[in-house]
Structures are given as structure tokens and as C-alpha cells.
Amino acid sequence: MSFSSSRSTNRAGAALLVLCGLFTAPPVMTQPETGVPIRVETVKQQPIQRSITLTGTVTSPRSSRLSAATAGRVTALHVDEGSQVTTGDILLELDPVLAQSQWQSSSAAADVARLAAADSKRRLEEARVLIPQKSIAESAVRDLEAEVAQDSADLQRAQAEASYAKGILERHVVRAPFSGVVSAKQTELGEWVTPGQPVLTLVATESLRMDFPVSEDYLADVTVETPVTYTLGDNSHHARPGVISTVVPVTNPGARTFLLHVQPAQADARMIPGMSARAELTLATGRSGLTVPRDAILNYSDGRVVVWVVDSGEDGRRVRETLVTTGVVFDGSVEILDGLSIGDTVVVQGNEALQNGQRVSVLDARS
């Protein structure tokens, strides 16, 4: 064999060795699949409570339909619907001319009676000085005493009539009995009003409360210590703490409900009389049980109630669909009557499209 042919053979052998090395090289390691990202919570045992949602109305502790205490024609109206007033403010005035004249006449009559009483009293005192001197008959003194008594009675009557006339005059003005807002106006300038006829409606705007009708089934469970939160209008995502101020234990026979007065735990400037309100009461049941967050529960149209449970194995974490039986719902938690055990790990976020046996990756709760 020539030298050149031997070199060719060596090159072919080297090439063959290289190819064999490529086919026999160990496989390249790849990273395991991380799985679907989820967030989880642990099944725990805690006291079971009931949540009751109520619908009610913001009300005022005072609402008055004001009327004039005497008849008359409206000559001045100082407020309109929506006017804010304080205690003692003049709201409405009636024509005072006739009442003014009557008061002046009564005052003058009282002055005359006062002078007559003073004169008869003076003459009686002078007569009593003359009695020891036998300068006046005792019968004359007794007549003067009777005259003084008569004049005193006339004075009291005249003063009472003057006071009455003054009261009638003062009642030609309607004043605010408390601070609040005028919610309705039932009269206008020039109208004739009579006693008892509503002329204005005044509603207090301080110490507002919320009134909620509650089914009589809960009467024994609700006390002033019962926790309650409330929302105003359709602002259902901003619940605030409230305080039950009064439980009115008289039921409405038609609706089978009793009344609950709730006040905000802190002053709430958003409250306006007549505004709708919602409240959520939390009632203790006296028992404990297993609970999961409400987000862990999936309800299907065929009636199934499902929770996804996370199992840990050698190949990582995987999920399995678990049918559960639920109890009461309260404060963001759901009672589990059957299907789970304490300490189980359930999916609370990312559970909408999972499949049985699917690998998952648990996210940090803070991420």
C-alpha cells in the first residue's frame, strides 16, 4: 500500500469516529415546564357566620311639616326648597296689621287698668291713716278695699288680654324650630293660610341615620353589638363601618319585618335624606367549620360546585377538580360542608380554565 493511500484511509477513519461521537453524545438537558401561574390559599377552620344584605333609606331624626299658629295672608316668604336654615330663622310672615292694632289696644287697656289699680290702692292707704283719728267711716274703708280688689282683678285681666294679643302677633311669623333644609314649600305669597295647614317642610340634616326593614326571622339574632357595614346609592364597592343605634322590636304585621336604625361609625358628609342605602349584617351561628375564600368557588350551569385542589408530587405541582358542598357565605368566605379537608391548598386566582392533572406554578402572594 502506498503512503498516500494509507493517509486517505486514516482520514476516513477519523471522520467515521467524529460521526460516531455525534450520535453517541449525551442529550442536552432542558428546563422543566413551569406550568400555569396561579395563586392559592389554604383551607382553614374558623367560626361560621351569616351575612344578611339589607336595603333601606337615609332618614332624618327630625322632619316637620310647619304651619302657622294663626290665620292670615302670606306677605313674606324668606326661603325656598333647598334653603339651609338654622334654629330661630324667620321662614314666613303673615300680614300683621290687624294683630298689631289689637295688641296696641290691649296694651292701652292694660295701662288704664294699671293706673286705676294704683289710684285705688293709694286712696285706701290714705283712708287707713285716718281710721285712728275717727275721721272716716269704717264702711268707707271697706268700700275702698273692695275697689282695690276689683281694680287688681281688672288689671290682671287686661294684662292677660295684652299678653294674648302679643302672642297672636308673634305667631304671624313662622320660625325654624331646628336647623335643617327646607325640603318642600306648600304655600306662596298672597295665599291665605289657616292654623294646621302645612306651609313648609323642614328636615334636619344632622345626625342622619339609615333605616332598614329586617325579616322578623332575625329579630332574636340582631343586637346593637351586631357588626354592620353600609354603602350609599350604587357605590357598592366602598363599604364603611356602621353602628346599630336602635333595634325597634315592633314588627310590621303586613311585611313581617322590624326596623333597624343604623348610623355611620364616623361622620359621612355624603349622606342626604332620602338616599338609598345598603347594609350587610354579620351574624354569629355559634359553630365553626371549614372555609375557603369566595374566589376559590366555581359554579357551573349544570349545578356543579367545584374547587381546584393543588397536589405536590415528584414532577411538581398539579391540580385536580374537586366537587364540594357549600354552606353559608360570609365576609368573603364560603363554608365547605363536604369535599375538602383542613390544610388542603386551593386555587383562588387563575382557576377559570384549568384542566385535571395540569401542571401549575404557584405565584408569591405579594407578586
Is residue 279 within 8 A of residue 210, CB to CB? The reply is: yes
Q: Is the predicted pLDDT of residue 74 greater than 50, yes or no?
A: yes
pLDDT band at residue 365 under the 50/70/90 scheme: low
| pLDDT tens string 122-131 | 988 888 888 7
- How far is Cα 1 from Cα 5, in angstroms, rounded to an integer? 7
| pLDDT tens string 305-338 | 999 999 998 888 999 999 999 998 887 899 999 9
Could you tell me if 212 and 281 lie in one domain? Answer: yes
The count of domains in the chain is 4
Could you tell me if 103 and 129 lie in one domain? Answer: yes
In a domain, 18, yes or no: no
Could you tell me if 277 and 313 lie in one domain? Answer: no
Q: Which three cell numbers stand for residue 355?
A: 384542566
Inter-CA distances, 109 with 105, 149, 155, 158, 243, Å: 6, 18, 9, 6, 60
| pLDDT tens string 231-289 | 998 666 688 999 999 998 876 677 788 999 999 999 888 898 889 999 999 888 888 99
Q: What's the chain's Rg over C-alpha atoms?
A: 46
Could you tell me if 81 and 188 lie in one domain? Answer: yes
Could you tell me if 72 and 200 lie in one domain? Answer: yes
Kindly report the pTM of this predicted structure. Answer: 0.59
Strands 198-203 and 63-67: antiparallel
- How far is Cα 367 from Cα 361, in angstroms, rounded to an integer? 13
Could you tell me if 88 and 187 lie in one domain? Answer: yes
Q: Order across the sheet with 198-203: list the strands.
A: 63-67, 198-203, 180-185, 84-85
Pick from 188, 206, 224: which residue ends a domain?
206
Per-residue pLDDT, 28: 40
Which residues form the domain of 160? 96-171
Is residue 215 within 8 A of residue 256, CB to CB? The reply is: yes
Average pLDDT taken over every residue of the chain? 86
Could you tell me if 143 and 202 lie in one domain? Answer: no
In a domain, 197, yes or no: yes
Could you tell me if 68 and 188 lie in one domain? Answer: yes
Per-residue pLDDT, 8: 45
- How far is Cα 207 from Cα 60, in angstroms, rounded to an integer? 7
Could you tell me if 358 and 300 lie in one domain? Answer: yes
Could you tell me if 189 and 70 lie in one domain? Answer: yes
Cβ contacts of residue 113 below 8 Å, gap of 6+?
151, 154, 155, 157, 158, 159
Domain with residue 345: its CATH number is 2.40.420.20
- How far is Cα 363 from Cα 350, in angstroms, rounded to an integer? 10
Could you tell me if 292 and 357 lie in one domain? Answer: yes
